[in-house]
Amino acid sequence: MPFDISMHIAGLNLRNPTMLAAGILGMTGLSLRKVWNAGAGAVVTKSISFQPRLGYKNPTIVDVGYGFLNAMGIPNPGVYEYVEEAKIAISEGELVIIVSLYGNTPLEFAKMARIVETAGVNAVELNLSCPHVKLGGMEIGTNPTIIDKIVKTVKKHINIPVFTKLTPNISDIKTIARAAEDAGSDGIVAINTVKAMAIDVESGRPLLANKYGGLSGPAIKPIALRCVYEIAQSVNIPVIGCGGITDWKDAIEFFLAGASAIQIGTAIAYKDVNIFGEIIKGIKCYLKRKGYNNIKEIVGLSHT
């Protein structure tokens, strides 16, 4: 019998606990299908805003050796155009799609959530944590009162699960995680990128066109792991771990820290979409070798 690593999270049945992280690929329906076909248990779209956004000028991404620094500026065609892409992704059936939303007001978040719910997506992820946009993003994601308003408003308008993605750029991530839980969030995604920058010594200029960006990749894994560990201790809703996961060992670490699922992004630059298959295989081998029957048995095990 094949080893079963399916997961049940906040009403979603995942064939395995790996997800494509927001912002990676995901601009088109076919790109989401490509990642699904590579084995991901769910795919999260690029963050979608109400109006189309061109994003920032290049350079939008810088390889800093231990990860990537990016400031894309949330380029997307706007929610109405994007639902057509989401429908293309969904048309194949099985696919589990979570739409990442980026709004300026609670009502704007809710309006977008309704539109994508009607289109038939499985869940939404609220991007309350983008470190490189001027309005919204991280600024709203560090304020528990605003988080409360946004999550409550979205929950009032839709029936599909709502995940809240948090920023690590805050002194106490537990507070905002609790605020999201209290407001009715069905799960926490942690973490978004870490606000950072890089400067070119020859020209003396910041490398990113936007000057600041978000750091992702292996460099932030220990930060992400610490955040997941802390959040898992303070909330009862599922936590989805995200940040620098590059191999199955990283994934297992996140489960042990308390994550019920994991998201993969930057590592696709190193190992391409095959990374999903590789990590799934590694998770299965680990569970088998350690004598566990499923992932649930190891979620949060490092806390005991």
Partner 1 sequence: MSQKFKNIRRRNVHIEDIIEETLNVKTILFRDKFCQLAKPGQYVMIWIPGIDEIPMSISVRNRLSLSGVTVEQVGEATEELFKKTLGDIIGIRGPFGNWFQPNTGNVALVSGGTGIASLFPLIETLIKTSAKIVAVLGFKSLKEIIFLNRIRKLLSDKRYHRIIVTTEDGSYGQKGLATDVVSSLLKKETFKMIYTCGPELMMRRVFDLAEESRTHIQVCLERIIRCSVGLCGSCFIGEYRVCKEGLVLSSEQLRQVKDEFGTFKRDFNGVKMHFKTTH
What pairing do the DSSP bridges indicate for beta strands 68-70 and 213-216?
antiparallel
Q: Which is nearer to partner 1, 205 or 249 (CB)?
A: 205
Question: Among residues 166, 265, 279, 280, which is the contact residue for partner 1, using CB under 8 A?
Answer: 265
Element (H, E) at 189: strand 187-190
* 52 touching partner 1, by CB under 8 A: yes
Q: Give the binding range for partner 1 (CB under 8 A) out of 147-155, 219-227, 262-270, 289-297.
A: 262-270
Ranges of H-type helices in the chain: 29-37, 79-90, 106-119, 138-141, 144-157, 173-182, 221-234, 248-257, 267-271, 275-290
Residue 283, preceding peptide bond in cis (omega within 30° of 0): no
Q: Compute the C-alpha angle 117/244/176, nearest 5°.
A: 55
What pairing do the DSSP bridges indicate for beta strands 18-20 and 42-44?
parallel
Check: CB of residue 164 under 8 Å from CB of residue 199.
no
* 209 touching partner 1, by CB under 8 A: yes
Q: Which active-site residues does the annotation give? A: 130
Q: Give the binding range for partner 1 (CB under 8 A) out of 51-59, 121-129, 182-190, 292-300.
A: 51-59
* 23 touching partner 1, by CB under 8 A: yes
Question: Among residues 16, 31, 153, 167, which is the contact residue for partner 1, using CB under 8 A?
Answer: 31
Q: Which is nearer to partner 1, 197 or 298 (CB)?
A: 197
Least distance from partner 1 to the Cβ atom of residue 118, Å: 20
Exposed/middle/buried for residue 244 (C-beta within 10 Å: 0-12, 13-18, 19+)? buried
* 76 touching partner 1, by CB under 8 A: yes
Question: Among residues 9, 14, 24, 220, which is the contact residue for partner 1, using CB under 8 A?
Answer: 24
Least distance from partner 1 to the Cβ atom of residue 57, Å: 5
Cα–Cα distance measured from residue 251 to residue 263, given in angstroms and rounded to the nearest whole number = 9
Cα→Cα distances 286→45, 181, 280, 293, Å: 29, 31, 10, 11
* 28 touching partner 1, by CB under 8 A: yes
* 203 touching partner 1, by CB under 8 A: yes
Question: Among residues 17, 131, 218, 241, which is the contact residue for partner 1, using CB under 8 A?
Answer: 218
* 68 touching partner 1, by CB under 8 A: yes
* 277 touching partner 1, by CB under 8 A: no
Helices (H) and strands (E) in the chain, counts: 10, 14
* 272 touching partner 1, by CB under 8 A: yes
Least distance from partner 1 to the Cβ atom of residue 94, Å: 17
Check: CB of residue 20 under 8 Å from CB of residue 26.
yes
Q: Give the binding range for partner 1 (CB under 8 A) out of 71-79, 104-112, 135-143, 291-299.
A: 71-79
Cα–Cα distance measured from residue 44 to residue 96, given in angstroms and rounded to the nearest whole number = 9
Question: Among residues 12, 19, 25, 128, which is the contact residue for partner 1, using CB under 8 A?
Answer: 25
For the segment 162-201, give every residue that binds partner 1 (CB under 8 A).
Answer: 200
CA–centroid distance for 23 within its chain: 8
Cα→Cα distances 161→15, 31, 185, Å: 17, 23, 8
Binding site for partner 1 (CB under 8 A): 23-28, 30-31, 33-34, 46, 52-55, 57-63, 65-66, 68, 70, 72, 75-78, 81-82, 85, 200, 202-203, 205, 207, 209, 218, 265-266, 268-270, 272
